[in-house]
Structure 1
C-alpha cells in the first residue's frame, strides 16, 4: 500500500488527494492543512471565474490544463450538484490603440482551440448593454462557480474513499529517511512514501523544509475588490474584462457577476507585506525582510515602477478604482462601490526579476512541489491534479 501526504487544503491539494484515491483505491492519503478550515486562502478568496484559457501561450502547461480544466470543472460541478453557469465573457477594447492587442489575443485563443469571436461595439452591447468599447472578444466557454463549494465536494469525496484530512496542522519539518518522507507537524509526525506540496502561498517555504532550493521565490500580491451596490448590479450581466497588458500576469480590474448574483469589481494588484496580507495593516517583519533582500523583486520593481505606482494609487483611492471601471462601463461611479474581501496571489519571481509565467511543478525523488500555480489554477485544478498524479510513483511503492 502506497502512502501519500499532501500539504495544503486548498483546491489543488484537495483535487490531488481526490485524484490519488480515485486512481489508487488502496493508497493511504493524508492531507495536512494549517488552518482550521479548508480553502482558507487563495481558493477561498478567488473571483469564482472558470477561465477558458484565452491568455496563455499555446502549448504551455497553463494553456493545456486550463482548456481541459474548464470542461472537467463544469462536469464535476454538474455531477456533484454544485451551482455553475457557463455565461461567457467580453474582453473589451476601450479605444483604437487596444485593437491590435485584442486581435493578438484572438489569434492566441484560436491557437488554443477556444470558441471565441471578434465582435464590434454594437454586438458587444447586445451582450452587455452598459458597456463602452470600440470592439470586443466574446469568449463563450467562460463560466462562474463558487470554488469553496468545489473544495467541500472534493474533500467529501476524498474522505469517503478513505483519505484523511487533518485541519489545524502546520508542517514544521520534512525529513527523508531512507525511502520514507517524515513530515513533522504541530500535531505529530506523518510518515509517507511520497510527499506532494500544494501549499500555495507557503509552497516555497515548505519546499525548503524538504531540502529543495526553489528555482523561484513566491512574492505575495494583494488583489483588492469592491462590489456593486445591489441596486446597481443591473449594469453587468456577466463578465467584462479589459484588454490585458501582455507584460504582466494581472488582467486589470474587471467586473464579474458571481454565482450568487453579486457583482465584484477588481482586483488591482499591490505588493502584500505578508504572505497572508489581506490589508495594508497586516505586516510580517520576516516577509518584509525577505522582500527587501529579494534581488528578483528589486529588478522587477525597477522594470515596472510606473505600473506599480498606478496600482498603489488605485488601492488608496476609491475614486481612481471607479474611474478604471468606468472605462469599461461608464455608468459605474464611486458611490456604486462597496468594499469587499481582498485576496492574495502567490506569484513566483525568478532571480532575474522575471515573472514565472507558467505553472511551475518541481519533482524530486518521492516529492512533488507545486511552486507556481496562480490563476487559472482553480479552473485547472482537476487537470493539475491529474498531471501530478500521472507522474507520481504508483502503488508499487509501499511498506
Structure 2
C-alpha cells in the first residue's frame, strides 16, 4: 500500500488535516489510528467547549489563540451545515481573591489582543454575576458570550466521513510500529501490513513525542501525561446554571487547573477535570498505567522532565490532584468555593476520563504553545492540547500551509467546504 501522505492519528486534528488535504490537493491520503474509531481518545473525552481566546497569552500561545478565534466561526458553520448541536451558552471565569482579579484583568487584555470584540467579553463584579447566575458566588468574573458547547467526538466522525468522500483512506485498529527511511519513501510497519508513504504527518497526540523520537526529531523534548477525571451531576442540578463556570487557575505555570462546572451541549452537567499525572497516554486504568511506569520513569529521568520530578511545588500540586482522584469530595469541594449549592453526596457516577500530554523542554519547563517540528520526510505536531479541539480546523490549514511553503504539497483547489484555504491561511498569519 503506497500513499503520498500518511497521517498518524485520527483524532480531531489528524482528521481535520485529512479533510483539507483531500479537498485542496490531489495527494493520496491515508490516516492511521490504533483505536477502533476516530476521535476515540482525547477528542471525545474533553469538556466539549469551543473556547474563546481570552485565556491564552498572545505571545506565548499565539498559534493556539489565533486558531481558537477562527475555530469558533468555523465550527459554528460546520455544525449548521450538518445540523449538529452548537450551543452558544457562554462561559464565566470567576475570581475568588485579589490575585484572581488581577488575572482576570490580564485575561481581558489578552482577549482584546486575540481579536475578541467588546460585546464578546465583559468584566463583572460579584453583584452583577448574581444577576446573571444567582447560584454563583465570587468577587469578580469574566462573562464571555463567544463561547459554545459541542460534542467533539461526533464532529470528528463527521469530518472523517467528509474526508473519506473526498478520497482519503482511514485505517482504524491499525497501530503504526517501526518507521524506516527508504530513500524515496518512508516504510511504516503496522500490525496489519507494511505501508509506503512519501510523507508523514505525526498528529498522534499522546504518542506524538514517541514517534518524533523514533525518527530522530526533537529529542530534546519529552512529555508528561495527565488524566482528567469528571463526576456527573445528579438530575437535580441540571438547571443550576445556564453557563459553564471556570475558576482562575491558582498556578498557571503548571498544567493543573481547578475543576470546572461544565454544562454540556445536551444539558448534562459535570464537575472536572482534575489533572492526575500518569505514565501512559492510555492510562485510564491502574494496570495499564503500571505497565508503562518503568519505561516512562527512565525516559523522564534522562530528560528535562527530571527537574520536574524534583520540583517541590509540582510534587505538592500533583499529590493534591491524586487526592482529588481518590476522593470526589475533595474535587467537588473545589467547585463549592464558587457554586456552594453543590453537594458531593449528589454525585453518584464518574464521567469519561481523558488523557492529555504536556511537553517539557530540556530545562524542565512546560512548553506553552504547539510545536511543529520538521523531519526530512515528516511533520510532527507536538504539544497540541487545549484549546486544540476548538482550533482543529484552522490549525489543519496552518499545517498544510506550512507544508505548501516548503514545497511539500501543492494546493490545487482553494475551496474546501464553506471556506477558502488561502483566506484562512492569511487570517492565521503564516
TM-score bracket relative to the smaller structure: over 0.9
Question: How far apart, in 2, do the equivalents of 1:127 and 1:181 lie?
Answer: 56
Q: Deviations over 1:243-273 (max 9, x none)?
A: 1232223432101110111012111111113
Q: Secondary structure in 2 aligned to 1:86?
A: coil
2:41 paired residue number: 41
How many Å apart are 1:291 and its aligned residue? 2.5
Q: Secondary structure in 2 aligned to 1:252?
A: coil
Question: How far apart, in 2, do the equivalents of 1:224 and 1:141 lie?
Answer: 26
Confirm or deny that 1:309 pairs with 2:319: yes
1:219 paired residue number: 224
Question: How far apart, in 2, do the equivalents of 1:215 and 1:74 lie?
Answer: 38
Residue pair 1:2, 1:396 contacting (<8 A) in 2 also: no
Question: How far apart, in 2, do the equivalents of 1:305 and 1:167 lie?
Answer: 37
Confirm or deny that 1:247 pairs with 2:221: no
Question: How far apart, in 1, do the equivalents of 2:92 and 2:293 lie?
Answer: 37
* Between 326-335 and 102-111, the greater mean CA deviation after superposition: 102-111
Q: Secondary structure in 2 aligned to 1:30?
A: strand
Given the two structures, how large is their TM-score scaled by the length of structure 1? 0.94
Q: Deviations over 1:4-51 (max 9, x none)?
A: 101111101100100101211x22111111112111111121110111
Q: Secondary structure in 2 aligned to 1:282?
A: helix
Alignment of 1:118-137 (within 5 A): 118-137=123-142
Unaligned runs of at least 5 residues, structure 2: 413-430
CA RMSD of aligned residues (A): 1.9
Q: Deviations over 1:201-231 (max 9, x none)?
A: 1111122333324332121101111111012
Q: Secondary structure in 2 aligned to 1:119?
A: strand
Q: Deviations over 1:142-186 (max 9, x none)?
A: 111000111111111000001110111111111222231222211
1:94 paired residue number: 96
> Which among 279, 283, 288 is matched to residue 289 of structure 2?
283
Alignment of 1:308-387 (within 5 A): 308-338=318-348, 339-387=350-398
Q: Secondary structure in 1 aligned to 2:288?
A: coil
Unaligned runs of at least 5 residues, structure 1: none
1:266 paired residue number: 272
Residue pair 2:11, 2:40 contacting (<8 A) in 1 also: yes
* Between 354-363 and 72-81, the greater mean CA deviation after superposition: 72-81
